[in-house]
Amino acid sequence: MGRSGKGTLPARAGPAVVLVRPQLAENIGMAARAMLNCGLSELRLVAPREGFPDLRATRAASGADEVLEAASVFPDLASAVADLHRVIATSARPREMTQRMVNPRQAARECAAAAAAGQRVGVLFGPERTGLENDDLAFADTLLSIPLNPQFSSLNLAQAVLLVAYEWSQTVFEASDETLVVNSSRPAERAELHNLFEHLERELDASGFLRVPEKRPGMVRNIRAMLQRAHLTEQEVRTFHGIVSELSRKRRGGPERD
């Protein structure tokens, strides 16, 4: 059923993305791109209005050709979901039916758990203008609602696919850790930091430390990165100013302290 054999995707099977009566071929392509970004490969299309394949879809996919080439087209939703064990329907509006409702993170957990148990899951996305109809939702065991700004929740089709696929991907791709502990006292503002950088670099220029022109930009960047990693407090910035001034004073032949 349209699984990619090119070996560029993670081993764990992700959910199938089922676009129900998509209106614009371009959105099919953008959805395919978002899927492949997140490691999903199985695209199912139910009665796409502009037909399929379509050059506009291919262009919008920006290179996610393997997803489009492996996509399956179905005449109706019943046949598109027939071999699945779980069907999750995206829905912005609350409906009169009583169904399970989950958010994308919980849906991703359930997709991962189902895949681990060898079950096939599909996530349904409705037409751009109207979303899924009640008759479509009746094919699903679970509804998926993306919690967004209630005053401005209208999401482009490909963006909805991206968010759902992204949450799934986070169960698969290793999430990088944070590395350094953050100081809890009041951090310096950027302007304060940049004053310090400029002070230090001025003195380093004067001392000859930054004398090789072709090396200077990289050295400055690394010094700034190093100091920013320290998450300096406003107090520490002032201390550092004092250190730079003190060191420079001595080099310039100012009076020695006793």
Amino acid at 237: V
Tell which one of 93, 178, 256, 258 touches its own copies (CB under 8 A).
Answer: 178
Residue 203: its H or E element: helix 190-207
State yes or no: cis peptide before 147, omega within 30 of 0: no
Residue 252, SS3 per DSSP: coil
> Is 192 or 249 the residue whose CB approaches its own copies more closely?
192
**Least distance from C-beta 71 to its own copies, angstroms?**
16
Tell which one of 1, 10, 76, 116 touches its own copies (CB under 8 A).
Answer: 10
**Least distance from C-beta 251 to its own copies, angstroms?**
26
Residues 197-216 that bind its own copies (CB under 8 A): none
- Give CA 25 to chain center in angstroms: 23
Tell which one of 51, 173, 205, 250 touches its own copies (CB under 8 A).
Answer: 173
| Spatial distance between the Cα atoms of 6 and 63, rounded to a whole number of angstroms | 14
147 near its own copies, judged by CB under 8 A: yes
138 near its own copies, judged by CB under 8 A: yes
| Spatial distance between the Cα atoms of 27 and 52, rounded to a whole number of angstroms | 12
Residues 52-111 that bind its own copies (CB under 8 A): 62-64, 78, 81-87, 97-103, 105-106, 110
> Is 205 or 246 the residue whose CB approaches its own copies more closely?
205
| Spatial distance between the Cα atoms of 150 and 156, rounded to a whole number of angstroms | 15
Which range binds its own copies by CB under 8 A, 20-28, 44-52, 175-183, 200-208?
175-183
In this structure, the chain runs to a length of 258
| Spatial distance between the Cα atoms of 130 and 127, rounded to a whole number of angstroms | 6
> Is 97 or 243 the residue whose CB approaches its own copies more closely?
97
Which range binds its own copies by CB under 8 A, 17-25, 123-131, 201-209, 218-226?
218-226
> Is 96 or 258 the residue whose CB approaches its own copies more closely?
96
**Least distance from C-beta 187 to its own copies, angstroms?**
5
Tell which one of 76, 141, 205, 246 touches its own copies (CB under 8 A).
Answer: 141
239 near its own copies, judged by CB under 8 A: no
Contacts 24+ apart (CB under 8 A), 91-94: 91/126, 91/131, 91/132, 91/137, 91/143, 91/144, 91/145, 92/131, 92/145, 92/146, 92/153, 92/154, 92/155, 93/131
| Spatial distance between the Cα atoms of 90 and 193, rounded to a whole number of angstroms | 46
> Is 103 or 235 the residue whose CB approaches its own copies more closely?
103
